[in-house]
């Protein structure tokens, strides 16, 4: 079943970043191997006035993926809004992955600034993908601001730690069953991605785990398979966990021997 973001349907549930790869060629091969139809691009990497930036943008267009511009590194509302406005002109899309960073060591979102920036951008016609925490109150405020997608972190960006707060992520999914939820940041292994999908999340956004792998192309392929497996498992309705054993072999009809 396809996934819908602001009226746009995609088949792949893997969104892939475009930074940190050993080379542009490996980035393109990884995008292809992943099957991703959406790629994030930071305006700080791209420049409409620099040849390198224009060449990079040409490569992305040739890949055929849909671009999700990113306000990566922005620390204030004004900076994030201005970056988003520039990205809309450069990439010709209303989509923006909104980041407002509040803490340097963990790159945790400034949720107060995030909500304010989201409200401004939504009022200007942007279709905002907010990088947020798993906080339910923040989620409510982002939705009220006009966001139709939420992108909670699994762990700090680039940490590879996986899902740090399973309770919080489960609660977020349960509270917003109809809202597209994308785990963004902290995923390090395909098993982490599969776990998030098994919780009922709709998609995974990756960058570092693929780009910095020993073989990015093979890792992209592995993540694609894990995400598909996790989603299939969720839709198959897994058994509930138990504290005690439950026999899988039927007892009825089994002969019992007396000594």
Least confident of 34-38, 88-92, 247-251: 247-251
Res 248: pLDDT: 77
- Binding site feature residues: 158, 185-186, 207-208
Task: Output the pLDDT for position 258.
Answer: 64
Asked if 205 and 182 count as a contact pair (C-beta separation under 8 A), the reply is yes
Q: How confident is the model at residue 251 (pLDDT cuts 50, 70, 90)?
A: low
Query: Rounded to an integer, what distance in angstroms lies between the CA atom of residue 203 and that of residue 35?
Result: 13
Which of 63-72, 102-111, 116-125 is most confident? 116-125
Fold of the CATH domain 3-236: TIM Barrel (3.20.20)
Catalytic one of 32, 78, 97, 212: 97
In this predicted structure, what is the pLDDT of residue 61?
78
Mean pLDDT, residues 43-47: 58
Q: Is the pLDDT of residue 3 over 90?
A: yes
Structure tokens at 55: 């060449």
> What are residue 150's phi and psi, to 5 degrees?
-125, 140
pLDDT of 60 higher than 90: no
**pLDDT interval class at 126 (50, 70, 90):** very high
> Mean pLDDT, the chain, as a whole number?
91
User: Is a pLDDT exceeding 60 seen at residue 250?
Assistant: yes
> What is the pLDDT averaged over residues 138-151?
98
Percent of the chain's residues with pLDDT above 90:
77
Instruction: Check if the beta carbon of residue 107 is closer than 8 Å to that of residue 75.
Output: no
What is the 3-class SS of 148-185, one letter each residue?
A: CCEEECCCCCCCCCCCCCHHHHHHHHHHCCCCCEEEEC
- Average pLDDT over every residue of 64-75: 92
**190 token code pair:** 């395909």
In the predicted structure, residue 131 carries a pLDDT above the cut 80: yes
Distance from C-alpha of 59 to C-alpha of 235, rounded to nearest angstrom: 36
Give the domain ranges of the chain: 3-236
- Residue 256 has a pLDDT of 59
pLDDT band at residue 240 using 50, 70 and 90 as cut-offs: confident
**Angstrom distance (rounded) from CA 18 to CA 238:** 34
More confident of the two residues 43 and 153: 153
Q: What is the pLDDT of residue 257?
A: 62
- The pLDDT-based confidence of 48 (bands split at 50, 70, 90) is very low
Using pLDDT thresholds of 50, 70 and 90, give the confidence band for residue 208: very high
C-alpha 163/C-alpha 155 separation (Å) is: 6
Work out the number of other CB atoms within 10 angstroms of the CB of residue 44: 13
pLDDT of 160 reads 93
Assess whether 97 carries a catalytic annotation: yes
The whole-angstrom separation of Cα 176 and Cα 155 is 20
List the binding residues for 1-deoxy-D-xylulose 5-phosphate.
158, 185-186, 207-208
- For residues 38 and 13, the answer to whether their CB atoms sit within 8 Å is no
Closest among 156, 161, 155, 154 to 105, alpha carbons compared: 156
DSSP string, the chain: --EEETTEEES--EEEE-SS-S-HHHHHHHHHHHT-SEEEEETTT--TTSHHHHHHHHHHHHHTPEEEEE-TT--SHHHHHHHHHHHHHHHT-SEEEE--B--TTT--B-HHHHHHHHHHHHHTT-EEEEEE-S-HHHHHHHHHHT-S-BEE-SSSTT-----S-HHHHHHHHHH-TTS-BEEES---SHHHHHHHHHTT--EEEESHHHHTSSSHHHHHHHHHHHHHHHHHHHHT-PPPP-SS---SS--TT------
């Amino acid at each position: 079943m396809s996934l819908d973001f602001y009226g746009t349907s995609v088949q792949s549930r893997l969104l892939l970043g475009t930074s940190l790869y050993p080379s542009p060629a490996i980035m393109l091969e990884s995008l292809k191997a992943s099957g991703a139809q959406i790629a994030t691009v930071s305006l700080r990497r791209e420049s409409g006035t620099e040849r390198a930036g224009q060449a990079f943008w040409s490569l992305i267009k040739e890949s055929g993926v849909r671009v999700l511009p990113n306000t990566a590194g922005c620390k204030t509302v004004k900076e994030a809004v201005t970056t988003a406005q520039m990205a809309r002109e450069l990439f010709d899309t209303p989509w923006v992955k909104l980041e407002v960073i509040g803490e340097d060591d963990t790159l945790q979102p400034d949720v107060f600034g995030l909500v304010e920036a989201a409200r401004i951008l939504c009022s200007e016609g942007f279709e905002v993908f907010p990088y947020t925490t798993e906080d339910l109150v923040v989620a409510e405020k982002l939705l009220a601001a006009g966001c139709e997608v939420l992108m909670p972190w699994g762990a700090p960006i680039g940490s590879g730690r996986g899902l740090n707060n399973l309770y919080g992520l489960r609660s977020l999914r349960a509270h917003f069953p109809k809202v597209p939820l994308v785990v963004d940041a902290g995923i390090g292994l395909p098993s982490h991605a599969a776990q998030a999908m098994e919780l009922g999340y709709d998609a995974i956004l990756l960058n570092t785990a693929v780009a910095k792998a020993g073989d990015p192309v093979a890792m992209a392929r592995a993540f694609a398979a894990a995400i598909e497996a996790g989603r299939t498992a969720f839709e198959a309705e897994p058994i509930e966990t138990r504290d005690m054993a439950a026999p899988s072999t039927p007892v009825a009809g089994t002969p019992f021997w007396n000594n």
